[in-house]
Amino acid sequence: MTARTDLAAHLASLALPQALSQTLTAAAAACVEIRKIVSGGALVGALGASGVVNVQDEEQKKLDVISNDVLTDMLLACPAVAGVASEEMDTVQPATNPTGEYLVLFDPLDGSSNIDINAPVGTIVSVLKAPSATPTEADFLQSGRHQVAALYAVYGGQTMLVLTTGQGVAGFTLSHDGQWLMTHERITVPADTKEFAINMSNQRHWAESVQRYIDGCLQGADGPRGKNFNMRWVAAMVADVHRILMRGGVFLYPWDKREPNKPGKLRLMYEGNPMAFLIEQAGGKATTDGKQAILDVTPTELHQRIPVALGSANEVDQIAAA
Ligand code: F6P
């Protein structure tokens, strides 16, 4: 069998600052630990609710809490990390070591509603340069363009880690002996697609332009688009984005009328920015509405939400034009 490049060799080949490689290595190692607990499921008492409501007003699952603790502990133990922020924590946690250079933001277990039904879930990570070794919350509020790395791990049929440091996108598969081995050297998103992902049950609440765009897709070959579309919805952004990175498509979680003051469901710092960085690096587009790039949004709060429309570039343009 051909010898494969492992994550350490890949990071070395990118000539990254040593502290960034250490940070990414710690994040990837935490994903291996989370995978073990996810795959143990009911056998390790990991399923069900934790009984706690998080800062997002969502009931945390036990696995949300466990995954958050694993990432927080392993990252703060890494001398290169200056602080962490998580979808599951109210505020940022600065590291106690004085050598930290990077801020790590994460959604420890994305797609929580999939946990108890053994459907795919994942971990999403964004890395920023720390302005100081004793960071405050304001230091984390950098736009997505400032990210120096983004990755996710998807815990599905295979466990995969997909990474960018701004030099393209590479994919690794977790081997039986716990190594991340490169299986996808340069991931690119095809510009055209016939597949969309959106929670159709919210259709009547969307803005008119989103209704028009989806309606055009649903009319298929008989409508304005002149081609038939397929629809997929895994209900875990990490798995829906993974499919788009593997074969193209668009993913939308738009603003809707029910709560007009709430910009969307997904979180800018933990979901929008890291996924946008990966999608852009793979040649796709990642926007709030087909037009505004997510990476250019200036964050005003740590747990800020945004609408999302990302994926195959020409199809994102169709969303903008609808
Ligand atoms: O983090 C929020 C999230 O779980 C995403 O991963 C996913 O895309 C979405 O919510 C699912 O939303 P819904 O419950 O509307 O299907």
Consult the annotation and say whether 112 binds a ligand.
Answer: yes
Q: Are strands 169-174 and 93-94 parallel, antiparallel or unpaired?
A: unpaired
| DSSP class of 121 | E
pLDDT, tens only, 65-83: 999 999 999 999 999 999 9
pLDDT at position 1 over 70 = no
Cβ of 199 less than 6 Å from ligand 1 = yes
Q: What's the predicted TM-score (pTM) here? A: 0.97
| Atom nearest to 271 CA in ligand 1 | 1
Cβ of 148 less than 6 Å from ligand 1 = no
Residue 161's φ and ψ, nearest 5 degrees, are -120, 130
Kindly state the helix (H) or strand (E) to which residue 122 belongs, with its residue range.
strand 121-129
d(CA 295, ligand 1 centre) in Å:
20
Question: Domain spanning 195-321 has what CATH number?
Answer: 3.40.190.80
DSSP codes of every residue in 180-236: EEEEESS----S--SEEE--GGGGGGB-HHHHHHHHHHHTGGGSTT-S--EE---S-
Quickly name the fold that domain 7-184 has: Fructose-1,6-Bisphosphatase; Chain A, domain 1 (3.30.540)
Tell me how far CA of residue 37 lies from CA of 88, 142, 149, in angstroms: 18, 32, 25
What distance in Å separates the CA atoms of residue 258 and residue 244, rounded to the nearest whole number?
A: 28
What distance in Å separates the CA atoms of residue 46 and residue 282, rounded to the nearest whole number?
A: 34
For residue 235, count other CB atoms closer than 10 A to its CB. Answer: 16
Tokens of 75: 């990252």
Tokens of 44: 């390790």
What distance in Å separates the CA atoms of residue 67 and residue 48, rounded to the nearest whole number?
A: 14
Cβ of 209 less than 6 Å from ligand 1 = no
Tell me how far CA of residue 284 lies from CA of 13, 14, 101, 236, 312, in angstroms: 24, 22, 30, 19, 5
In this predicted structure, which of 14-23, 61-70, 77-86, 154-163 has the lowest mean pLDDT? Answer: 61-70
The predicted model gives 229-234 an average pLDDT of: 98
pLDDT, tens only, 81-96: 999 999 999 999 999 9
Consult the annotation and say whether 265 binds a ligand.
Answer: yes
d(CA 22, ligand 1 centre) in Å:
31
Q: Please give the pLDDT value at position 57.
A: 76
Consult the annotation and say whether 199 binds a ligand.
Answer: yes
Closest C-alpha among 259, 252, 250, 251 to residue 205? 259
Consult the annotation and say whether 132 binds a ligand.
Answer: no
Cβ of 141 less than 6 Å from ligand 1 = no
Cβ of 314 less than 6 Å from ligand 1 = no
Q: Percent of the chain having pLDDT more than 70? A: 99
Ligand 1 pocket, mutate which of 61, 266, 303 (most atoms under 8 A from CB): 266
Cβ of 235 less than 6 Å from ligand 1 = yes
Chain mean pLDDT for the chain: 96
| Atom nearest to 233 CA in ligand 1 | 16
What distance in Å separates the CA atoms of residue 245 and residue 182, rounded to the nearest whole number?
A: 15
Q: Please give the pLDDT value at position 121.
A: 97
Q: Give me the residue spans of the domains in the chain.
A: 7-184, 195-321
The predicted model gives 148-153 an average pLDDT of: 98
pLDDT at position 305 over 80 = yes
Cβ of 115 less than 6 Å from ligand 1 = no
d(CA 198, ligand 1 centre) in Å:
10
* Amino acid letter, residue 262: K
**In which order are the strands placed within the sheet that holds 159-164?**
93-94, 81-86, 102-110, 121-129, 147-155, 159-164, 169-174, 180-184
Q: Please give the pLDDT value at position 98.
A: 87
Atom 8 of ligand 1, nearest CA residue: 237
Closest C-alpha among 62, 55, 111 to residue 85? 55
DSSP codes of every residue in 2-60: PPPPBHHHHHHHTT--HHHHHHHHHHHHHHHHHHHHHHHGGGGT--SEEEEE-TTS-EE
d(CA 279, ligand 1 centre) in Å:
18
Consult the annotation and say whether 222 binds a ligand.
Answer: no
What distance in Å separates the CA atoms of residue 21 and residue 42, rounded to the nearest whole number?
A: 34
| Atom nearest to 238 CA in ligand 1 | 6
d(CA 237, ligand 1 centre) in Å:
6
